[in-house]
């Protein structure tokens, strides 16, 4: 779908593909391709992970085995470029939820088996490189748990999606929204900001310094740097 509303069908799945109520969000990875998972599809009916190019070329990457531990419920891209996800598992049949890694060529690695949790999981990689998740069931009370999985990933690169205001004089405080913005330094067209502060990874405040000129904003963190497409106008 273009911003103007023009619709193009990329791929049509066979009828009755999505029979399970677990809906895994579609992910656009750093290589520009789309990746997704279907919890009850594939030759074994226990789930698949697939790649879809923006040109509509569909490729199954991995078919889950016919066991009680399968059924993918989440998928993210890690800072190493690999895919990470979770399965729900058939708990009533003695199965367990699993956390896994999948390369973009389809190589599957089991990372951890959750023996005390039902992982209809939401996963995210934190600014420290660790993968965090929430499990629907399990924990000390059986009402769910929050967990951390450290697989040695590097800290993810920052993303700066928007900033406001988009213009102002020296000493203006500018708020930059994005992700992985902890421990950031900020430059206005190459000139370091006077002060930088935040209380979370999704935004950062930066003060326009003396000597700044109109141009893009660059945010640098331990995970890398990002330069905005838009320019801040110094008045």
* pLDDT tens string 213-222: 999 999 999 9
* Tens digits of residue pLDDT in 2-38: 778 888 888 887 766 666 656 788 899 999 999 999 8
27-149 and 159-234 share one fold: no
Tokens of 156: 């993810």
Q: Are 226 and 160 in contact (CB under 8 A)?
A: yes
Count of beta carbons in the 10 Å neighbourhood of residue 80: 15
Q: Which residue numbers in the chain have pLDDT < 50?
A: none
Q: Would you state the pLDDT for residue 115?
A: 80
CATH class of residue range 159-234:
mainly beta
* Tens digits of residue pLDDT in 109-130: 999 998 877 777 889 999 899 9
- Give DSSP secondary structure letters for the chain: --TT--------PPTT---SS-BPPPEE-TTS-EEEEETT-STTSS-EEEEE-TT--EEEEEE--SSTT--EEEEEE-TTS-EEEEE---GGGT--EEEEEE-TT--EEEEEEESS-----EEEE-TTS-EEEEESSBSSSSB-EEEEE---PPPPPPEEEEEE-SEE-TT-EEEEEEES-TT-EEEETTEEPS-EE-SSTTEEEEEPPTT--SEEEEEEETTEEEEEEEEEEE-
CATH number for the 27-149 domain, one of 2.120.10.30, 1.10.730.10, 3.30.2320.80, 3.30.300.30? 2.120.10.30
Helix (H, G, I), strand (E, B) or coil at 60: strand
Domain spans in the chain, listed from the N-terminal domain onward: 27-149, 159-234
Q: Would you state the pLDDT for residue 207?
A: 97
What residues contact residue 65 under an 8 Å CB cut-off, 6+ apart? Answer: 44, 46
């Amino acid at each position: 779908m273009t911003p103007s509303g023009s619709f193009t069908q990329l791929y049509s799945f066979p009828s009755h593909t999505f029979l399970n109520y677990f809906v895994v969000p579609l992910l656009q990875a750093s290589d520009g391709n789309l990746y997704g998972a279907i919890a009850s599809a594939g030759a074994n009916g226990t789930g698949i992970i697939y790649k879809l190019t923006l040109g509509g070329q569909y490729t199954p990457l991995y078919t889950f085995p016919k066991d009680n531990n399968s059924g993918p419920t989440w998928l993210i891209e890690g800072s190493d470029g690999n895919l990470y996800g979770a399965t729900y598992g058939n708990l009533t049949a003695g199965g367990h939820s699993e956390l896994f890694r999948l390369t973009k060529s389809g190589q599957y690695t089991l990372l951890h088996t959750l023996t005390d949790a039902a992982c209809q999981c939401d996963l995210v990689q934190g600014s420290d490189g660790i993968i965090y998740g929430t499990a629907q069931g399990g924990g000390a009370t059986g009402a769910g748990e929050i967990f951390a999985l450290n697989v040695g990933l590097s800290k993810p690169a920052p993303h700066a999606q928007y900033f406001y205001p988009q213009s102002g004089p020296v000493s203006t405080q500018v708020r930059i929204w994005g992700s992985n913005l902890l421990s950031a330094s900020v430059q206005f067209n190459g000139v370091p900001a006077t002060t930088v502060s935040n209380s979370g990874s999704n935004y950062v405040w930066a003060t326009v310094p003396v000597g700044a000129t109109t141009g893009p904003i660059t945010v640098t963190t331990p995970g890398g740097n990002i330069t905005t497409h838009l320019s801040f106008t110094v008045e």
